[in-house]
Structure 1
Amino acid sequence: MICVSTVAYSQDSGQTYAEKLGYPKGKKVLIIHVDDVGMSYESNEGAIRAIREGVANSLSVMMPCGWVPGFVNYWKENKDLDAGLHLTLTSEWKDYRWGPLAGKQQVKGLTDPEGALWRSVAEVVKNASPDEVEQEIRAQLDRARTMGFEPTHLDSHMGTLFATPEFMERYLKVGMQEKIPVMFPGGHNTAIKEVEKMISDQFEMTQKIGKQLWNAGLPVLDDLENSSYCWKGPENGDKSDKAMQQYKTGKYIEAFGKLKPGLTMVIMHCTIHTEVFPKISDSWPTREGDFLAMIDPELKKYIEKEGIVLTTWREAMQRRQKVK
C-alpha cells in the first residue's frame, strides 16, 4: 500500500466542477470514500458500517479478491449503496494474494512467478503492457456485471493506473466508453497538489483531461484528499480504540478544514477488528482508526456545523446527465 497518490493533477480557475453540477456555490462537497471492499470480511464490514453508522457515503470493490461475493450479496439487497470498482492490478500482501481475472495466459505481464498480480506498482510498470492493463480492467468490469453488480464509478488500487500515461489513457478510455465516472481530479486540486508538489506541465495536462471527461458526459472531481493512510496514530504510540478514534477524527477535521470549495473525494480504508486481519496486513491500526473516525459523533457534528455537503458518485453522475 502507498501513502500518497502517484497521480499528477491540474488546477483550474473559475467555476468549480461542483458548481457546474449544480451543487451550492462556495460549498465543500465531499464523497467520503472507503477503498478495498471485497478484500476481506473485515473490509466489507468496516465499509458497510462506516456508511450505515457513520458519515462515509461511498466505496469501491476489489473484484479479484476472495470476499467480493460476500459484499455483492449484501449489495443486492441494499442497492442504495454507492459502490464502484477499485480496479486492482497489484497483490501486495505476503500471505494473502489474488490473481488477474483475465487469466494468467491472457495477461502474462500482469502475473508474477507465484501466479498472482505483482506486489508493487513498479513491477506492473516494468512488466505489463497497456493492452494487458485494459484487458484486466475490462475483465474486472465484466465479472462485476456477470454478478449483477453495476458500478457507480471506477478508481485505482494503489494508484497503479496513474503510474504511466499509457495506463491512465486506458483507464480513462474504459470509463468514457462505458459511461462510468472515473476518479480523476481536474479542478483546483488544492489538497493533492500540496502532496504531489506538481509542476505547471502537470497542471496543464490534468486540466485538459478534466475537460475531456466532462465533455464525455462524466462528472469531474475538483480535488482529492488522500492522506489518511499515512496517519498512523498518536505520537505516544497509543493504539487503543479511544486514542485512535480521537487521533483520526482530529486528522479528518483538520483535513476537511483545509479543503477549498468544490467536489472532493476523500479516500480511506475501514476495517473492523478481528484476530484475522492483522495476519493479512500490519496496516490494521490505521484502517481500524479510519472506521472509528467515520462513526465518531464528533466528526458528524463538525460536518454539520461547517455546512459541508455530502454526495455520492451516483448523484454526481445523475447531476451530470442533466447538464447540457
Structure 2
Amino acid sequence: MIGCLILLVLESAIAQRAATYAEMLGYPTGVKVVIFHVDDAGMSYESNEGTIKSIENGVATSCSIMMPCPWAASFVRYAMQEPMDAGIHLTLTSEWKDYRWHPISGKKAVPGLVDAEGSLWPSVREVVQHASADEVEMEIRAQIDRALEMGLKPTHLDSHMGTLFYHPPFLERYIKVGVDYGIPVMFPGGNNKLLKISMRDNLIKQLKKDGKFREGMELPGNEMLENAAEIGQQIWKSGLPVLDDLHSVSGNWKPEGNPDDKAWGEYKVAQFKSILREMEPGLAMVIVHSNGDRKTFDRISSSGGSRYADMLAMTDPELKKFIAEEGILLTTWQEVMERRKNIK
C-alpha cells in the first residue's frame, strides 16, 4: 500500500513538472542537447576561417553572420557552396576603435543608430540611448534582406553583443521580425541555469572594470531574465522554437599568467566540460568566437588570443570525446526548426 502511494506521488510530480523545450521538440527526456554556436562570422577573414574550422573540423554545429561587416559576403558565398547552419548575427554596434562598420540601411534612414563617425555606436548603452525601435526594426530587416538577396536562407537570428535583449521595445521588434520572416529567434526561455552564470560573470567583469565591485555585494536583477519564461512561451506559441538555456561568456576564460595558445585552448576545453556538466537537461546554446589564426586580428582587438583558443577548443578531440561519453546530443537550428514545424 505504501509503495503504491509513493509511486502515485512520483507519477504526480513527474506529470506536474514542466517539460523542457527539448522534450517538447521530441528529444529524449533527461538528455542534454547542445548547439555549439560560432558568433561573428563575416567580421574579418580570421573570423571566417575560425568559424569554418570550428564547424567542419570540430564540434561547433552552427554560426551567425554579421551582415554589415566587410567579410560577410565572402562567408555567405561559402555557406551556400558548403551548406552549413548559418543565421544572421543582427548587428547594431561597432565596438572596435579602428575597425568600424555602418548600418546597411544608411545613415539618413537610421540616424539614431550612428555615431559622429557615421558608424554604428560602440556600446549597447549608446544604442539604447539614441536609437528608436522603428530604426532598429528597419536595420535588422535590411540585414536579413541582404542575406536573402544573396541567396542565403538564414537558419536563425541572434543579436551581436546582446543589444536586442537590453531594451524591451528592441526585444519586441526582434521577435516580431523573426515571426514575420518565419525565422527562429535565439531566445532562452527555460531553466536558464547557464544564462544566470553568464550574466553574473559579465556583470562582475564590468563592475571590476569600473572599480565598483566588492566581494559579497548584492548584484542587481535583470528584467529580461525575470520575464524569460513568459517571453519564451510567447515565441513558442508563434510557431518558433525556444532554447532552455544559453551560455555566452567563454570570451572571459583565460588561465592565470601569460599562457601560450596551446595552454589557453586546453584551459577552455576544461571550462566547456565544466559547463556541460553544470547544465540541466534540455536544449542549450553555447556561444564561442573562433578565429582561424592570429596573424592580423590583434590589429582589430585584444580578444584575438581568446578567439584563437575558442577555435582550438572546438577542434580538440578531447572535447569531442567528452561529449560522446556524456551522451550529449549536438544539434543545429535547422533541425530544431524542422522539429518545431512538425508540432501542431
Q: TM-score, normalised by structure 2?
A: 0.87
User: How many aligned positions are there?
Assistant: 310
Partner residue, 1:235: 256
Partner residue, 1:41: 45
Q: State the AA in 2 paired with 1:147.
A: M
> What's the offset of the Cα at 1:275?
2.1
Partner residue, 1:225: 247
**Equivalent in 293, 297, 300 of residue 273 of structure 1:** 293
- Structure 1 residues 147 and 201 mapped into 2: Cα distance closer, same or farther (>3 Å)? closer
Is 2:306 aligned against 1:286?
A: yes
Mapped partners of 1:273, 1:200: distance in 2 = 36
Partner residue, 1:304: 324
> What's the offset of the Cα at 1:73?
1.4
User: Do the aligned residues in 1 keep the contact of 2:166 with 2:224 (CA within 8 Å)?
Assistant: no
- Structure 1 residues 285 and 13 mapped into 2: Cα distance closer, same or farther (>3 Å)? farther
Mapped partners of 1:104, 1:23: distance in 2 = 45
Mapped partners of 1:77, 1:195: distance in 2 = 35
Is 2:230 aligned against 1:212?
A: no
Is 2:116 aligned against 1:116?
A: no
Mapped partners of 1:202, 1:313: distance in 2 = 22
Mapped partners of 1:40, 1:187: distance in 2 = 33
Q: State the AA in 2 paired with 1:236.
A: G
Q: State the AA in 2 paired with 1:317.
A: M
Q: State the AA in 2 paired with 1:196.
A: M
Mapped partners of 1:120, 1:200: distance in 2 = 18
Q: State the AA in 2 paired with 1:234.
A: P
Mapped partners of 1:274, 1:290: distance in 2 = 12
Partner residue, 1:59: 63
Q: State the AA in 2 paired with 1:188.
A: N
Within a 5 Å distance, the mapping from 1:1-324 to structure 2 comes to 14-79=18-83, 81-196=84-199, 205-231=227-253, 233-238=254-259, 240-324=260-344
Q: State the AA in 2 paired with 1:288.
A: Y
User: Do the aligned residues in 2 keep the contact of 1:225 with 1:265 (CA within 8 Å)?
Assistant: yes
Mapped partners of 1:82, 1:63: distance in 2 = 16
Give the unaligned 5+ runs of structure 2: 1-15, 201-219
> What's the offset of the Cα at 1:236?
2.5
> What's the offset of the Cα at 1:150?
1.3
> What's the offset of the Cα at 1:194?
3.2
Higher relative contact order (CA 8 A, sep 6+): 1
Mapped partners of 2:265, 2:112: distance in 1 = 41
Q: Percent identity?
A: 56
> What's the offset of the Cα at 1:202?
5.2
> What's the offset of the Cα at 1:204?
5.5
User: Do the aligned residues in 1 keep the contact of 2:294 with 2:305 (CA within 8 Å)?
Assistant: no
User: Do the aligned residues in 1 keep the contact of 2:294 with 2:304 (CA within 8 Å)?
Assistant: no
In structure 2, the residue corresponding to 1:117 is in which secondary structure? coil
Q: State the AA in 2 paired with 1:153.
A: H
Q: TM-score, normalised by structure 1?
A: 0.93
Q: State the AA in 2 paired with 1:66.
A: P
In structure 2, the residue corresponding to 1:31 is in which secondary structure? strand
User: Do the aligned residues in 2 keep the contact of 1:13 with 1:188 (CA within 8 Å)?
Assistant: no
> What's the offset of the Cα at 1:95?
1.0
